[in-house]
Amino acid sequence: MPVGPMVRRLFGPHERQISNAYRAIYINLDRFAEALNLWVPDASNILEVGCGEGAVTERLARLYPEAKITGIDISPRLGRLYDGPTDRVSFVRQTVQELAAARPGQYDLVILSDVLHHVPASMHAELLAAIRQALAPGGSFVFKEWERTATPIHWLCYLSDRWLTGDRVRYMTRQELRDRLVATFGRQQIAGELRIGPWRNNLATLVRA
């Protein structure tokens, strides 16, 4: 079992607050939510791929109060710390490949946030192709990743992620990330790019279907 879940269980009722504080060292999720709202002010059917325990999902539920939101992950812990409406938000344990095959072209907004560095490079093309399949015509895909740089904060991020999750994480450069998107969606579909505080390593990209 990864070290992270074992350590976090020791926090008991304070796990949520400590988890949020740890995450805030690396990314301001409220600023990420602002970027989403700037790029996609309205959405009715949203898919979050690799939703984890629900931190971004919670913000999506506030940003889009009328939208139906589906969070998927292969982890059994998905949505565990989510605190928001449950009537229009659901968590499903499945891969995006399975979901896209069952519901192609159904989502006007898809989010993939800080997931790709946990996925083996050999599976990147398949994962992104499934996201493209799930997108509705004219829909938006918001892709957020941590950019690899030769900086102390990057190495701190890498070591903590590697230790806490146990995954063989591999971060990519900005050009590598962009090449991945262009290979799947095409250069003309890249519609925007933003840095999310508190570190420039947080790179968000908007792709239009």
- CATH number of residue 29's parent domain: 3.40.50.150
Compute how many other C-beta atoms are within 10 angstroms of the C-beta atom of residue 159. Answer: 11
Tens digit of each residue's pLDDT (9 = 90 or more) over 81-126: 999 999 999 999 999 999 999 999 999 999 999 999 999 999 999 9
Number of domains comprising the chain: 1
φ/ψ of residue 105, rounded to 5: 65, 30
| Nearest by Cα to 100 from 61, 56, 131 | 131
Write out the residue range of the structural domain in which residue 20 sits. Answer: 3-208
pTM of the model: 0.94
